[in-house]
Structure 1
Amino acid sequence: MSYSTFLYAVDIDKLRAAVGSKDPELLERLREANSPSDEEDPPPPPYDYVADWQLRVTGEGEILFGGKATTIEKLPQLIKSLTGSLELFFETPSNDQHTAVMIVGNECYSQSGLREVIYRLETMAPDVLWSRSSSEDGSDRASFSADDKALDSLIASVPKNWKSRHGYALEVLSFVLGERLPDEDEIGDLELLQLHSPLATIRHPLALKAPDDFPYLSFLTAEEVVAEVQRLAGIELSFPADPDIENARHAYANCMKVAADSQRGVVSFYY
């Protein structure tokens, strides 16, 4: 899956109260969480990969193959005819065409001669990163590189003009005040899971208007998490057509159960 959804169990009221709290101790905790760990892997080399074929979906929803416009109707036959490697570029802002291309790709890759498919995301905030690395015991730990000034402004006051960088800073705050839910690195675009998750709808936890750029935010209160667990209990999570989607469906349901057991809400970050 090209995009990822990261889920955090956190007390929504405490999260809201922390923004603009001017709490120096909390700000220090954010800075520590945002600092690179000495145990982390070295940064990846500069991007220089060039695939045999390139497919781009623009922020306006246009599909370009090899720089030439094509349509979603022609895409299945086109993908099935390919061999070698394919590189997909998804420009922001996200749109319905992104999801449509993902669905077509998932259905057609196995019928093509492709040996490798690479997804690339292009955001308006390329200097803000989120990375994951594995510890010696095989577990994952969150590693952030949010803008320090965004962390400062988030604690100093409620941002009147919410920017993409504030979203990444809010993710660090959600991590510090709560916990990263165990998604097993399985959850991508929630819409592709076909579970009709309420978190697939943009909903700012601070009731602010966010820019149409990554990360896309949503949240559930503790009560809404319980309701989501009850709703999922009546849904068959198996998805024989795509094992990856089935794994993601189970991972999502498990995350909701963990959050419900802790009696906390959930904040999601999609990018």
Structure 2
Amino acid sequence: MAKKTTTPKRFPRALYETELLRLQGELVRMQEWVRASGARVVVVFEGRDAAGKGGTIKRVAEHLNPRVCRIVALPAPTERERTQWYFQRYVDHLPAAGEIVLLDRSWYNRAGVERVMGFCTPQEYQRFLRQCPVFEELLVEDGILLRKYWFSVSDTEQERRFRERQRNPLKRWKLSPMDLESITRWDDYSRAKDDMLVHTDTEVAPWTVVEAEDKRKARLNMIAHLLDTIPWEPVERPELVLPERPRRGDYVRPPREVEREAPDHAAELLRKSAG
């Protein structure tokens, strides 16, 4: 008799939401240190398709100032960019003082999808493996705080998430032909990931693997690790005092009828629900 498989129990939602909110509060405090100290932070998010990178990035940035924390998700390179030094277009998006950059995929495209799908030549791939550790060492030497996370998920869970995207109209945009290719090329991507780690997991810029079978645990683990490894300190912010509102002057607002207001869709919903 075949052994019945059971779905692993997910991390409790209530505990997850409580801890996530606490960690996000710490991220806000870390952001203040980055802004005040002039630090430059780059966080690389890589991993299997549907491993939960995008959801984690969203939770990291959710309460941060978009002027301090930027999400960078580059499209396919243009014809001009294809003729540039490979790392060149990524350099344009590196942070200035007091900024955090979250890279939703990065220069490691060359070690993954470009290698597996044949979008680069073997010579370009080998050049990348030689240059990448040097490039990252230069970033770190210049003072950039570089963190690299690889989100790992099983083939079974990946396929389950793909099917969920296929069924859900709100998530269908996340499913691309390239994602479907990753199902049939699972072993090729596995070999590419192994080779990438061998060449680019260095003392200067190490990889941190995030087990992402459970998205809730993966988010908590990644954010907690980031907070633990960035050498930030609490920054005291000056207390802001709301001024007294001055007495009304002689300003008279124009009649509302002359303005184009959005239709009251919410009121219509209330009327329909009451009826």
Larger Rg: 2
Which structure dedicates a bigger proportion of its chain to helix? 2
> What TM-score comes out, normalization by structure 1 length?
0.28
> What TM-score comes out, normalization by structure 2 length?
0.28
